[in-house]
Amino acid sequence: MRFRLAFSLVLTVLLTIVPVALADDCDHVADRQETIDVAGASLIVIEARAGSLFVEGKPGLAQVEARGEACTSDEDLLEDIQIVTKRSGDKVRIIAEVPEPRWRIGSTTVRLDLAIDVPADIPLAIDDSSGEIELRNVGATRIEDSSGEIFAQGVAGDLSIEDGSGAIRVEDVDGNVEIEDGSGEIDVRGVRGSVVIEEDGSGAIDIRDVDYDVTIREDGSGGIEVREIGGDFTVRRDGSGGIDYRGVAGRVDIPDDE
């Protein structure tokens, strides 16, 4: 009986302590800022790590302006969280250097939240590990992301997204949209080209106001809803969840069981 009471007391204490240890602890912060000239550049590569990422395109801008807030619960790591800029030929790179947390009891917070201004007419390639991504008024963009929500609005060119998990919302794209997603809702609106969902593991898909075709090659689970499509609507393979479509100007080709 004494053993059970002691065990219960220890378990209660652990359940009280663990949520505190796992909470976001950002005791040490510092501002970071870097700029780099982009004259003659054909591609801007952003290598983000843990932390949020906001990118805004600005017409006529002659350089990339990157600002960030370094944040960590371990003071010894603060100086190692930096923004690095590089140029190789016609490629400009913005790199978030975020060290791996050192082992300790409890959790260690290490991240770099970024806000980057870029020329609106230069294509982007974004490689991100975790954290929210928000893009506004940028050129053609390719995103590879592990986890975190993605919001893109006002893309002047094609948009390609490869995402592990997290909701995706896309608005106002002057080009084609291609998405491959592990899990999370997909919401696409206002595309002046075609939309292709290469693969979606789980989560609802809502696509509206597309000038040309909408193609969903493989969907695992979650409902599919499309509205006002100027071309064909095709679903190659659907796991579970209903398919609802209206206002499709072209041909509709969906699995027979739907």
Question: Does residue 233 register a pLDDT over 50?
Answer: yes
Cβ atoms of residues 203 and 222 within 8 Å? yes
Between 19-33, 95-109, 207-221, the lowest mean confidence (pLDDT) is in 19-33
Instruction: Name the residue ranges covered by the structural domains of the chain.
Output: 24-123, 149-258
Average pLDDT over residues 218-246: 93
Residue bearing tokens 């917070």 = 109
Q: Are 21 and 102 in contact (CB under 8 A)?
A: no
Whether the per-residue pLDDT at 215 is higher than 70: the answer is: yes
Tens of pLDDT, residues 61-115: 999 999 999 999 989 899 999 999 999 999 999 999 998 776 554 578 899 999 9
Helix H or strand E encompassing 222: none
Give ∠ CA 162-83-89 in degrees, rounded to 5.
Answer: 70
User: Which residues fall within 8 angstroms of residue 112, CB to CB, at 6 or more apart?
Assistant: 32, 48, 49, 50, 51, 68, 69, 70, 71, 81, 82, 83, 96, 97, 98
Q: For position 12, what pLDDT does the model report? A: 42
The amino acid at residue 204 is: A
H helix intervals, 42-99? none
User: What is the four-CA torsion angle of 82, 87, 90, 91, rounded to 10 degrees?
Assistant: -30
pLDDT number for residue 165 = 92
Backbone angles phi, psi at 159, to 5 degrees: -130, 125
| Encoded amino acid at 203, one letter | G
More confident residue, 26 or 121: 121
- Please report, in angstroms and rounded to a whole number, the separation of the first and last CA atoms in the chain: 60
Using pLDDT thresholds of 50, 70 and 90, give the confidence band for residue 238.
Answer: confident
3-state SS class at 99: coil
14 pLDDT exceeds 70?
A: no
pTM (global) more than 0.75:
yes
Give the other-Cβ count within 10 Å of 88's Cβ: 8
At 2, the pLDDT band (50, 70, 90 cuts) reads very low
Q: Let me know if 115 is exposed, middle or buried by CB neighbors in 10 A (0-12, 13-18, 19+).
A: middle
